[in-house]
Amino acid sequence: MNLTVEEKFFVWLNNFPFLTPAKIKEFKEKFGSYENVFLSAGERNEFFAEKLEKDEANKLFFGATDEFVKNLFLNFEKQKVGILTKSNREYYEIFKQKAPLCDIDILYYKGDLSLLKTKSIAIVGTRRPDVYGKRVTEEFASEIASAGVTIISGLAAGVDGIAHEKALEVAGKTIAVLGGGFNHIYPPFHAALAERIAKEGLLLSEYPPQTLPSAFHFPIRNRIIAGLADAVLITQAGQKSGSMHTKNYAVDFGKDLFIVPADITREASKGTNEILSVMPHALVTSPVDVLEKMNVKPKEKTERVVQISMEEQLILDAVGGDEVHFSEILSKTKMDSKNLSSLLTRMKVSGIIKQLPGNYFSK
């Protein structure tokens, strides 16, 4: 790693979980440099015993050795963890240009750092999207990523995860900004997704790898999501969604903000509809709307001709443009249950129809 001496010892301090940024700053002010903090801790300076709990001071003293520091950076290499600092001028300057108000001196990363150079959009939203929210997120993420725009999100459950997955599904690129360290992926069921993003995209965190996720980490990491993106898209969000923080950061940073509307009865969309009531210019109703406003040409679609039977046409007529339950399709088509199930399965495989949670179907 191409780190200056000062950065090296800042990283060393940064990897003690009990040392807050304020505490690290206080230590530097006391001893004049991060290197002097290291040397003073190695001499078991009494100042640390006064400022820290006994077990914390002992941990700092134990870690103030060349061997400890050497092993710390060997572990980074083994885990393929990179560190973005001011010494990496090319990428750190890109980060600061995109996110000038993000007061961050160091970022940990896994994956392709060159994605910071690409045109990008943050796609965020509720952790509990309804059927509509899932469909909208899938459609926007797939088409935008297919057009070559990098998708940025926070690896959270719901909209974030869908956005990352759909970007990868269409061989697009994605960046995930975490609310904890790489060794503690949250939610845990996104561990495999995080591993795939590290290989095919980019994982970023301002926290050292061993840092546990914490509730207060997630709202503040949203400033990095909004800061890095050229624009922010909220596909569905309730009134108390963390996406509201991302929206505020986007406005503060002067980023383009796009909001997908929904009918007023949807609880999961009350936040996005509320934003539109005061920012109607942010409304978008299709991925093409977003791409046009970002001056990106949509990927040309190749139409696939699929032959359908009369019975399948009956099913399509029954579904119409809505989300329709199996029982309603059964009633409208007057087919027997077994035959309808068989036809729906065939139509799903052919891509003519989609099955949604709760045994609902849509085109």
Residue in 218, 215, 196 with CA at minimum distance from that of residue 205: 218
Tokens of 146: 């297919």
**Tally of domains in the chain:** 3
User: 161 and 225: one domain?
Assistant: yes
CATH of the domain at 336: 1.10.10.10
User: 254 and 343: one domain?
Assistant: no
Residue pair 174/168 in contact (Cβ under 8 Å)? The answer is yes
User: 353 and 209: one domain?
Assistant: no
Among 293, 324, 345, the domain boundary falls at 293
Q: Which domain holds residue 38?
A: 5-78
User: 123 and 236: one domain?
Assistant: yes
Spatial CB neighbours of 251, under 8 Å, sequence gap ≥ 6:
257
Say if 317 falls within a structural domain: yes
Say if 85 falls within a structural domain: no
User: 183 and 106: one domain?
Assistant: yes
Residue 36, burial from CB neighbour count under 10 angstroms (0-12, 13-18, 19+): middle
Dihedrals phi, psi of 265, to nearest 5 degrees = -85, -10
Among 78, 105, 135, the domain boundary falls at 78
Residue pair 181/212 in contact (Cβ under 8 Å)? The answer is yes
Tokens of 28: 């530097």
Per-residue pLDDT of the chain (363 residues; tens, 9 = 90+): 689 999 999 999 999 999 998 999 999 999 999 999 999 999 999 999 999 999 999 999 999 999 999 999 999 999 999 999 888 888 888 888 888 777 788 899 999 999 999 999 999 999 999 988 999 999 999 999 999 999 999 999 999 999 999 999 999 999 999 999 999 999 999 999 999 999 999 999 999 999 999 888 888 899 999 999 999 999 999 988 888 899 999 999 999 999 999 988 888 899 999 999 999 999 999 999 999 999 999 887 655 566 788 898 899 989 987 788 999 999 999 999 999 999 998 888 877 888 888 888 888
DSSP state letters, 141-199 = HHHHHHTTPEEEE---TTHHHHHHHHHHHTT--EEEE-SS-TTS-SSGGGHHHHHHHHH
User: 288 and 185: one domain?
Assistant: yes
